[in-house]
Amino acid sequence: MDLILISAAFVAGFIALKCHLPPLVGFLLAGFGLHAFGHTSNETIVELADLGVTLLLFSIGLKLDIKVLMSKEIWGGATLHNLLSTSLFTLILGCFKLLGVSSLASMDYSQLALLGFALSFSSTVFAVKSLQEKGEMNATFGSIAIGILVMQDIFAVVFLTASTGKLPHWYAIGLFILPFLRPLFYRLLDKVGHGEMLILIGIFFALVVGAGLFELVGMKADLGALILGMLLAGHSKASELSKALFNLKEIFLICFFLNIGLSVQPTLAGLALAVLILLLLPLKGVLYFWVLNRFKFRVRTSLMASFSLLNYSEFGLILGGLAYKMGWMGDDILVALALSVSMSFIVAAPINRKGHELYQKSAKWLKEQTAENLHIKDRRINPGHAQILILGMGRIGTGAYDDLRERYGKISLGVEVREDAAHEHRAQGRNVIAGDATDSDFWERILDTANVKLVLLAMPHHQGNQIALEQLKRRAFKGQIAAIAEYPDQVDELMESGVDAAFNIYREAGSGFARHVCDQLSPNFTKV
């Protein structure tokens, strides 16, 4: 059985990849296909799927600044969208009921409101995977989308707690001691090094300290993992820990998507309702765009965040399952929820992949904010007299910046997607601004690029560098362009796309190390 699941997941994921779709679409279809041949989900798959979601939320927490959740565009936007979408979906479902949709005929309006509430959520798993694959987790729209998803997760946890009547145990108050234990957690992270013990302590924090403690006191385990991640987000190893857990989390999440397909027994009534629910998905996206645009974000930021959130959520399935157990929904409704969630992933995957192109085509029809009214995160950028732009100020970009400053003086400008990271660079004396170099409006936001002679594409994700290169070419940039890549085929691809120089970071690191050793030690070798 395990061999069949692994084989089916691999084949379907590979086919999806070759069709320029995220592999998760293949995993979903593999689940449906296996179910059609009589296979069903089992305890092992469910447990691994739960582990994947727990590690995912822990990883989100590691990258999440609590100040992000406190910003009005996050908590206000999430709350406003939830209220509007729940109300609109309830109204439309009520119309479907009056029009004679059989699955909804026996439901009263409070039950329809619960279904509308379940449909108002977006999938954390899908959105995060989509953003990670494109390297846009830290982009302005990516941060907004993640913040809204975390708020929605909190809404769902509160609702689940209230609806089941299971209040946390009285000793849950002991969880308030966790922030005071942060220095101890930090010390442990300092001591474990960078190998397998770092991965193990990450799993320990996520599953035992976070999920385990919260479950022990009667609260949702996933919320515990998220909060533990947020407590550790300020540590210098937080990013390294997130990367160390990445592949493990990805493997477990394969089971999550397989489990959705394996758990559904389609019926004609359920499928018909699922199609109707899927037709409501554009309305959900329009509401996201409208809400975010009210907070003075640019059209592109609002639109790209809306694309990331354009799906239905696995939390909808959880709420539907609870309602089914309590007799509030029929089995056809639960089937329709499961199918609509799955189909929304399949619809949203190509939309997210083509998001930049869709924006280019639709921007002229959408009214942009005036420059003086823009949100502070979306305002115009002044590069000064910079002759070199370094896009991506991670370890490689920072190293390049420092070396170029030693050689030529203060002629470089670094561009970093995260405002807090840009602020830290400025505190260390570097000329760095916050901005998203994959943003098709990025170059338009820069007031003057006449002095720029060289652009270094130093972002950690190949796709991000490719998108930035496309934007440069579209604007007929006249200077030189150099880029980094992780693999030889990516170097070839960048050269074919028009960069003047491309470098394999691992090979160049080795060459640089050898040059540094020879310069410092001047060894007396005999050449042969």
Residue range 65-73: mean pLDDT, rounded: 77
Q: How do residues 454-486 score in pLDDT, each as one tens digit?
A: 999 998 888 888 888 887 887 778 889 999 888
pLDDT of 156 reads 77
* CA dist list (Å): 151 to 53, 160, 264, 425: 16, 14, 28, 30
Q: What is the pLDDT of residue 369?
A: 65
CA angle 43–47–52, rounded 5-degree value: 150
* 294/34 Cα distance (integer angstroms): 45
Segment 494-499 shows an average pLDDT of 89
Nearest to 336 by CA among 353, 351, 317, 350: 317
Note the pLDDT tens digit of each residue in 218-228. 887 877 888 89
Residue 293 confidence (pLDDT): 87
DSSP state string for 166-212: -PPPGGGGGGGGGGGGHHHHHHHHHHS-SSHHHHHHHHIIIIIIIII
Q: For CA atoms 408, 411, 416, 422, give the dihedral sign.
A: positive
Count of CB atoms situated within 10 Å of the CB of 215: 15
Other beta carbons within 10 angstroms of residue 54's beta carbon come to 22
In Å, how far are 352, 454, 510 from 522, measured between CA atoms? 53, 33, 17
Question: Which tens digits make up the pLDDT trace of 390-417?
Answer: 998 988 899 899 989 988 898 899 988 7
Cα(78)–Cα(288) distance, integer angstroms: 9
Sign of the Cα pseudo-torsion (327, 328, 334, 338, in order):
negative
Query: Is the pLDDT score of 261 beyond 70?
Result: yes
pLDDT band at 370 (very low <50, low <70, confident <90, very high): low
**By percentage, how much of the chain surpasses pLDDT 90?**
17
Q: How many residues does the chain have?
A: 528
Computed over every residue of the chain, the mean pLDDT equals: 83
Q: How does residue 425 score in pLDDT terms, banded at 50, 70 and 90?
A: very high
Please, which pLDDT band fits residue 325 given cuts at 50, 70 and 90? low
Given a cut of 80, whether residue 384 has pLDDT beyond it is no
pLDDT in tens, 298-321: 888 888 899 999 999 877 777 776
Task: Report pLDDT for 336.
Answer: 84
- At 224, is the secondary structure helix, strand, or coil? helix
The confidence band for 441, taking pLDDT boundaries of 50, 70 and 90, is low
**In 3D, which of 437, 438, 456, 452 has the Cα closest to residue 501?**
456
What does 236-256 look like in DSSP terms, one character per residue?
Answer: TTHHHHHHHHHHHHHHHHHHH
Whole-angstrom Cα distance, residue 389 to residue 162? 52
**What confidence tens digit (pLDDT) does each residue in 78-132 have?**
999 999 999 999 999 999 888 888 778 888 888 889 889 989 999 887 888 788 7
Please report the pLDDT score of residue 187 as a whole number: 92
pLDDT > 70 in the chain, percent: 90
Tell me what the mean pLDDT of segment 61-78 comes to.
Answer: 81
What is the mean predicted confidence (pLDDT) over 154-179?
Answer: 77
User: Are β-strands 412-416 and 501-504 bridged in parallel, bridged antiparallel, or unpaired?
Assistant: unpaired
With 80 as the cut, is the pLDDT of residue 233 above it?
yes
* 229 touches 209 (CB < 8 A): no
Q: Which domains does the chain have, with CATH numbers?
A: 1-165+181-363 (1.20.1530.20), 380-521 (3.40.50.720)
Q: Output the pTM of the full model.
A: 0.69
Banded model confidence at residue 61, pLDDT cuts 50, 70, 90 = confident
Average pLDDT over residues 280-290: 94
Place of tokens 């640019």: 298
